[in-house]
A and B are shown apart, each in its own frame.
Chain A
Amino acid sequence: MITTTQANEAAIDARGLIMSFGSFHALDGLDLSVRRGEILGLVGPNGAGKTTFIRVVAGLLRPSGGQIHVLGGRPGVQVATRIGYMPQTPALYDDLPVVDNLVFFARLFGLSREQARRRADEIVDIVALGPKARTLVRDLSGGMRQLASLGCSMVHDPKLLLLDEPTVGIDPVLRLDLWQHFADLNADGTTIVLTTHVIPEAERCDRIAMIGSGRVIALGTGDELRERAGRQNLDEAYIALRDAAPREGER
């Protein structure tokens, strides 16, 4: 049963999040609240802190400072069952068929052997890899690997899907397919947080969080951000908003 407070609660709530690697701050006081049921795009250049944020949310990194709540709890094993994580590289077992990868990850999330098999069959159809279900991952094209990787992240029907650069290196046709998948998942109630360094692509998200130097520079819909920056396209808007953002020590 979902209580009112749970329903109103943010899917991800990060306050003053800091992640340091030695003297380098990959996250430098990041504040971000992701609403339940939205698709949020994290945009910014390489090294802005997008992947670090995703890894903190996924429970792979322990933040050096600040607070983070994910689906009402601390990142970790307890909330992990409700999170799907798709790493930047298609992290799959190359020497296993697609369907075996899906079954494996499904079983890690607690599905029985039988349930996992049924779910794997559903997923290969959803991500349109039906004819390739028995193909070894190493024999798939780059795009198909990405689809298989997406499949592995959603095999346990997560409430929150974290996608790290899901469309990188994908041809335009497949990219449209992927976005269709995201939209379908979202329509079923899944909250999606994805990163991309192709900023205009994030236009398809409900909201965009512009990330730079480990902080959120600006947050809003594509139209809002363009208007705020007074620019025609999102790339230019990013640069304008970044340059206008308070520098270190001015905050």
Chain B
Amino acid sequence: MSWSRVTAIAGRIVRQFRHDRRTVALIIVVPLAVMALIGYLVGDSGKEPLPVAVVNLDEGGTSPVGTVNLGEVFVRSLRDQDSIEVRAFETGPGAEEAVRDGEVAGAIELPSDLSARLAAGEGVELTVAVTGTNPSLTGPVVGAVQTALRETAASIPGGEGAATGGVRIRTVSLEGVPGLTTIDYYAPVLVAVFTFFFTFLLTSVSFLRERASGTLDRLMASPVSRLDVELGYLLGFLGFAMLQTLIVLGYATFVLHVEIAGPLWLVLLVLVLLVIGSVNLGIPLSFYARNELQVVQFIPLVLLPQIFLGGLVWPVETLWTPLRWLSQAFPLTHATAILRDVMLAGAGLADVWPRLVALVAFDVATVALGVVVLRRQRA
């Protein structure tokens, strides 16, 4: 081993980076942006509260020290939590309707004998109704209920902790088909993310090569229009991208036994729209990359905000309002929401068309962006 040669190679790499400021900037910016986003998402501050329907039917009860209404204590405790916005409902069916309509993330019904049973040290079952198609909403609701229960139990005079031992939380899914497993919940996310990711990678690197090899100059010196180039790329890559997509979807369906409750054509339509947007996004973005290294670094910049803010893992509903608006511009937000509704809850075109329109709008916008960027390649 020659130490001087090793240092020569290492020194050359460092010097190359000094002339590639964009890569250095990405090296610094990408992890900062990613960690800031995660810090925000898992932290408590700066979030909008999640609306939850509460039906308090508790009539109160008598304890050794007098009458208590533990239902009120529970609701107060829930109200005190920053992550939850309590919406009072009169009846259970009304609250469940609000869950189905997406107005609230969950519905909790407190039975009329809640105080009486808890005071008597008897068991109680609390029902938490959720949509069942979006696990990112279920967790925060159940967590808040557990916290409120602990505080309620602590308020029982002389009965701290003991009383909640008899309380069971039962989660009821209102929309999902019965028997959903973790892989069912995450299959729509995986299918959407991989479709977008593979296609974006394929086109952005190909287009970069077109530019770097000089063939784009030849193209632009011919009478070809910019829209011809865009559409030609789209058509050329659509087949390969859809093949990849079908492999992911097929594997999920046949090997992982993920159910598709709704119409298959709607699932495929969503994926085609996603592929179109992804191909078209790859073209303009490849213009801002000088080499393959930079293209690869664009991937987290393009993909991670969509995964983090698009409701794939964390709920869109609790995002700071400007971030929530931003998330509506992401194709993955809409694609995942549609796929969840269609695959898990059997939704049809009538239920998801506004999000389909959003996907089409994204596709049109990326084609337009590509045409604008291609203008710089021609006088």
Tell me if A99 counts as interface (CB < 8 A to partner B): no
CB atoms of A59 and B378 under 8 A apart: yes
Scan A59-97; emit 1 where CB is below 8 A from any B CB, else 0: 111110000000000011110110101011111111000
Residue of A with least CB distance to B213 = A91
CB atoms of A56 and B379 under 8 A apart: yes
Shortest beta-carbon distance from A184 to chain B in Å? 22
Tell me if A110 counts as interface (CB < 8 A to partner B): yes
CA–CA, A78 and B378, complex, Å: 13
Tell me if B297 counts as interface (CB < 8 A to partner A): no
CB atoms of B218 and A85 under 8 A apart: yes
CB atoms of B379 and A59 under 8 A apart: yes
CA–CA, A75 and B214, complex, Å: 19
Tell me if A152 counts as interface (CB < 8 A to partner B): yes
Scan A124-164; emit 1 where CB is below 8 A from any B CB, else 0: 00000000000000000000000000001100000000000
Tell me if A48 counts as interface (CB < 8 A to partner B): no
Shortest beta-carbon distance from B332 to chain A in Å? 31
Tell me if B219 counts as interface (CB < 8 A to partner A): yes
CB atoms of B217 and A76 under 8 A apart: no
CB atoms of B214 and A91 under 8 A apart: yes
CA–CA, A110 and B225, complex, Å: 12
Tell me if A182 counts as interface (CB < 8 A to partner B): no
Scan A166-209; emit 1 where CB is below 8 A from any B CB, else 0: 00000000000000000000000000000000000000000000
CB atoms of B218 and A105 under 8 A apart: yes
Tell me if B357 counts as interface (CB < 8 A to partner A): no
Complex partner residue of B218 from A62, A110, A152, CB under 8 angstroms: A152
CA–CA, A164 and B218, complex, Å: 12
Shortest beta-carbon distance from B296 to chain A in Å? 21
CA–CA, A227 and B167, complex, Å: 107
Chain B binding surface SS class: loop
The count of chain B contact residues (Cβ–Cβ below 8 Å) is 15
Those of B219-244 within 8 Å (CB) of chain A: 219-225
The interface residues of chain A lying within 8 Å CB-to-CB of B219 are: 108
Between B214, B215, B217, B218, the greatest number of chain A beta carbons within 10 A of the residue's beta carbon is seen for: B218
The interface residues of chain A lying within 8 Å CB-to-CB of B379 are: 56, 59-63, 75-76
The interface residues of chain A lying within 8 Å CB-to-CB of B224 are: 108
CB atoms of B222 and A60 under 8 A apart: no
Complex partner residue of B377 from A60, A63, A93, A152, CB under 8 angstroms: A60
CA–CA, A152 and B214, complex, Å: 13
The interface residues of chain B lying within 8 Å CB-to-CB of A56 are: 379
CA–CA, A88 and B214, complex, Å: 9
Shortest beta-carbon distance from B220 to chain A in Å? 6
Residue of B with least CB distance to A109 = B222
CB atoms of B217 and A87 under 8 A apart: yes
| CB within 8 Å for A94 and B213 given contacts A62-B379, A75-B379 | yes
CB atoms of A80 and B217 under 8 A apart: no
Scan B190-214; emit 1 where CB is below 8 A from any A CB, else 0: 0000000000000000000000011
| CB within 8 Å for A60 and B223 given contacts A89-B213, A91-B214, A91-B215 | no
The interface residues of chain A lying within 8 Å CB-to-CB of B218 are: 85, 87, 91, 105, 152-153
Tell me if A58 counts as interface (CB < 8 A to partner B): yes
Residue of B with least CB distance to A80 = B223
CB atoms of B214 and A80 under 8 A apart: no
Complex partner residue of B378 from A60, A93, A94, CB under 8 angstroms: A60
Shortest beta-carbon distance from B379 to chain A in Å? 4
CB atoms of A93 and B223 under 8 A apart: no
CA–CA, A81 and B222, complex, Å: 6
CB atoms of A77 and B215 under 8 A apart: no
CA–CA, A90 and B217, complex, Å: 11
CB atoms of A109 and B378 under 8 A apart: no
Complex partner residue of B222 from A61, A87, A88, A108, CB under 8 angstroms: A108
CB atoms of A59 and B220 under 8 A apart: yes
CB atoms of B217 and A91 under 8 A apart: yes
| CB within 8 Å for A59 and B221 given contacts A75-B379, A76-B379 | yes
CA–CA, A83 and B378, complex, Å: 15
The interface residues of chain A lying within 8 Å CB-to-CB of B225 are: 77
CB atoms of A58 and B221 under 8 A apart: yes
CB atoms of B217 and A77 under 8 A apart: no
CA–CA, A139 and B221, complex, Å: 26
The interface residues of chain A lying within 8 Å CB-to-CB of B217 are: 55, 58, 60, 85, 87, 91
CB atoms of A77 and B223 under 8 A apart: yes
Those of B269-325 within 8 Å (CB) of chain A: none
The interface residues of chain B lying within 8 Å CB-to-CB of A80 are: 221-223
Residue of B with least CB distance to A83 = B221
CA–CA, A81 and B225, complex, Å: 12
Shortest beta-carbon distance from B231 to chain A in Å? 14
Shortest beta-carbon distance from A202 to chain B in Å? 23
The interface residues of chain A lying within 8 Å CB-to-CB of B215 are: 91-93
The interface residues of chain A lying within 8 Å CB-to-CB of B214 are: 87-91
Pairs A-B, 8 closest by C-beta atoms: A91-B214, A62-B379, A85-B221, A108-B222, A58-B221, A80-B223, A87-B214, A91-B215
Given A56-B379, A85-B221, A109-B222, 10 new contacts (CB under 8 A): A59-B220, A59-B221, A62-B379, A77-B225, A80-B222, A90-B214, A91-B217, A91-B218, A92-B215, A153-B218
A-B contacts, 5 of them at CB < 8 A, read: A60-B221, A76-B378, A91-B215, A91-B217, A108-B219
Residues of chain B touching chain A, judged by Cβ–Cβ distance below 8 Å, are 213-215, 217-225, 377-379
